Structure 1
Amino acid sequence: MSGFAWGAFGGHLAGTACAALAVLLVAFAVGLRTGRHRVVDVAWGVAFTAVALTSYGLSAGHGDSGRRLLVTVLTAVWGLRLAAHIAWRGRGHGEDPRYERMLAKAPGSRAAYAFRKVYLLQAALVWLVSLPVQAAGYVTGPMGPLAIAGGALWLTGLVFESVGDRQLALFKADPGNRGKIMDRGLWSWTRHPNYFGDFCVWWGLFLLVCDAPAAAAATVVGPVTMSLLLTRGSGKALLERHMAERPGYAAYVRRTSGFFPLPPRDRVPPRERG
C-alpha cells in the first residue's frame, strides 16, 4: 500500500484553484470582447490542463515521479483534445443558445451574471473534479495494478469520445443528413458516446490515486461530480430535453442505450425478443 503526503497536498490546493481561476478569467475577458460566452466551453479543457500542470510542478519531490508524469500527460491530452474539438466545432458560430437563454434572465448586468453563473462556477467545478489528478502527484509508492487499470480505462474513454465526436462531425457534414438523427457507429450503441468517454476518462484518472485508499476516499467526489454533470446536469439530460421533439428521436431512444454501450435493440432478431 502506498503512502500519501497529506501536508504537502493540503498546502498546494490554493495554487491549483488559482490556476483554474486564471484560465476562466482569461476566458471571461475573451467572452466580453467577442460577445460570445461560448468560449467558456473551450476553456473547460484548458483549465483542467492548467490544474494538472500546476499540480505537477507543486508536487515535485513529494510523490512517485512516474505517477506524477502519467496523470499530468493523460489529463493534458484529454483536456487539450476536448478544447480543440469544441473550438473547431464552434468556429463561425454566434453565441451558444444555452448562454443566450441564461443571460436573457440576468437580473441586472449580463456580464456580472455571466461571471458568477458561468465562469466562477466552471472554475470551481474544474478544481473539484480534478482533485484525484491533484492527489495522484502526492502518492508516494510505485504504480500498481489499479494504476494500470486506470490507464486502460482512460484510453477506452478517450477512444470512445474521440471516435464518437469524429463520427458525428462526418455525419453533420453530409447535407443529406440534415434533420436526421445520428444513429450509426458508436451512436447506435449509446446515445452519448462522448459523455460515456468522459465518464471512463475521469474514473480512469481516479484509479491512479487508489493505491493510497485514504486519498482515494477523500477525492472520489471528483469523478462522482463529473458523472452527475454528464448524466444529470449539463450533459445527457440537457441535450435530451433539447432533442426530444426532433422527428425520429423517440424511436432512437427506444432502441439505443441511454449511456452505457449496449447492442442496439432493433438488431435483435424477432424470434429472440421477449
Structure 2
Amino acid sequence: MNITGKTIIGFFIVIIGCFVLGLSLFPIETSNTLYTVVAITALTATASFLFGLVTNDYSWTDRLWSTTPVGYAWIYAYAGSFNTAVTTTAVLVTIWGARLTFNFARRDGYTGGEDYRWPILRNKIGNPLYWQLFNLLFIAVYQQALFICFTLPLFVLSQTPGASMGLFAWIGVLLMLSFLTIETVADQQQYTFQQSKYGLMEKQKDYEEDYKKGFKTGGLFAISRHPNYLGELGVWWSIYLIGAANVGSIFHWSILGPIMLTLLFMGSTIFTEGITKEKYPEYSLYQKKVWPIFPKLWR
C-alpha cells in the first residue's frame, strides 16, 4: 500500500486521539503522570502495530520518534506547574523534535516508504508470524517504551519540589545544544552527500573520493562512522544530566532511559553496518580506521 499524505494525516489524527484518551483515563491533575504517559504509549504502540498490519509498512513508530516525546515533555511540564527546570528542558526537547521532524520529512520519511532495513530483516526472519511478533514486540512496543524511558528526566523534574536551573543543569543545557549541533551538521553532511550522489543535487568536489566508495567518510564521518548517533545519544545523556543535577546525584534510576537508548543504537549500528559491508567492499577498511559512534581521540 502506498503511504499518501492522507494516510499520514489519518495516522496522526489517531495518535492525537490516543493522547486525548490517555489524558482522559489518567488526568494529570489526579494521576501520576507516568501512568498517563504509559497509557498513551500503550495506545500509540497498538495504533502503530495495526497500521503496519493494514499498510504493510512498518515505519509507523519511526514517524512518531520526533513527535511523541515532545508531547510527553509538555505533559510533564504541566504536571510540574511549569517550574523553570522542567519547562526549560521541555523547550529543549521541542527544539530537538522540530529539527528531527524537518530532517525526517526532507528525506521523505513520512510518505517515502518504510525504513530500508525492515524489508531486509523481514526476509531474514522469513516466517510472517514471527515477523508480526517482531513488529509488535520490538518495533511498536519496545521502541515506543523507549520514548517513556528517555523522557524520564522530565518526569523527575516535574516531581522534584523546587526544581531549578543550577550550574550543573546549565552545563547540561550547553552540552545538549552542542550535541544537537553535532547531529544537525552530521545529518546535513549525509543529506548533501546522498542527494548529490544520486543526482538530486549538484555534485560536490570535496566528495569525489566518497562517491567512488559509495559512502560518506569526510567531515564528521572522518572521526565517527555514525556522528548523528553520537549527537542523538549526547542529547539525551545531557537531558539526563539536567535531571540528575536537580536530585543531587549523578546516578539516578532515570539513567535507565539513556542506557536503553545507547543499547538500541549499538544494535542498530551492528545491523546497519552488516548491510553496508555487503553493499560496499571498502567499508571494512573504513571500519578499521574509524570508530562506530564515539570518536577515537588518538591515531
TM-score, with structure 1 as normaliser = 0.80
Aligned length: 253
Change (3 A) 1:191 1:9: farther
| Contact 2:236–2:258 under 8 Å retained in 1 | yes
Provide the residue aligned with 1:221 in structure 2: 256
> For 1:184, which of 211, 218, 221 is the aligned residue?
218
Q: Report if aligned partners of 1:103, 1:114 keep a CA contact under 8 Å in 2.
A: no
SS in 2 for 1:182: coil
In 1, are the aligned partners of 2:61 and 2:144 still within 8 Å (CA)? no
Tell me what 2:67 maps to: 46
Aligned to 2:5: none
Describe the SS at the equivalent of 2:61. Answer: helix
| Counterpart residue number, 1:151 | 173
Which letter maps to 2:105? A
The answer as to whether partners of 1:42 and 1:84 remain within 8 angstroms in 2 is no
Residue 94 of structure 2 is matched in structure 1 by 76
Equivalent runs, 1:123-138 vs 2, <5 Å = 123-138=144-159
Mapped to 2, the partners of 1:53 and 1:137 lie a distance apart of 10
Give 3-state SS (helix, strand or coil) of 1:36's partner: coil
Moved more, 154-163 or 34-43: 34-43
Q: Which residue of 1 aligns with 2:288?
A: 254
TM-score (norm 2): 0.74
Following the alignment from structure 1 to structure 2, what is the Cα–Cα distance between the partners of residues 229 and 133? 21
2: CA distance, partners of 1:222 / 1:57: 21
Query: Which of 1 and 2 has higher RCO (CA within 8 Å, sep 6+)?
Result: 1
Unpaired runs of at least 5, structure 1: 1-7, 266-274
Share of identical aligned residues, percent? 26
Residues 224 and 290, structure 2, Cα contact 8 Å, conserved in 1: yes
Is 1:99–2:133 an aligned residue pair? no
Q: Which moved more, 1:15-24 or 1:104-113?
A: 104-113
Kindly state the Cα deviation for residue 188 of structure 1 after the two structures are TM-superposed.
Answer: 0.9
2:142 corresponds in structure 1 to 121
Deviations 1:216-255 (A, max 9, x none): 5121111111122222x22x22222222231221222222
Which of 194, 197, 222 aligns to 1:172? It is 194
Aligned AA for 1:72?
Answer: A
1:232-243 matched pairs, under 5 angstroms: 233-234=267-268, 236-243=269-276
Q: Secondary structure at the match of 1:257?
A: coil
Deviation at 1:25, TM superposition (A): 4.1
- Alpha carbons 2:153, 2:254 under 8 Å: kept: yes
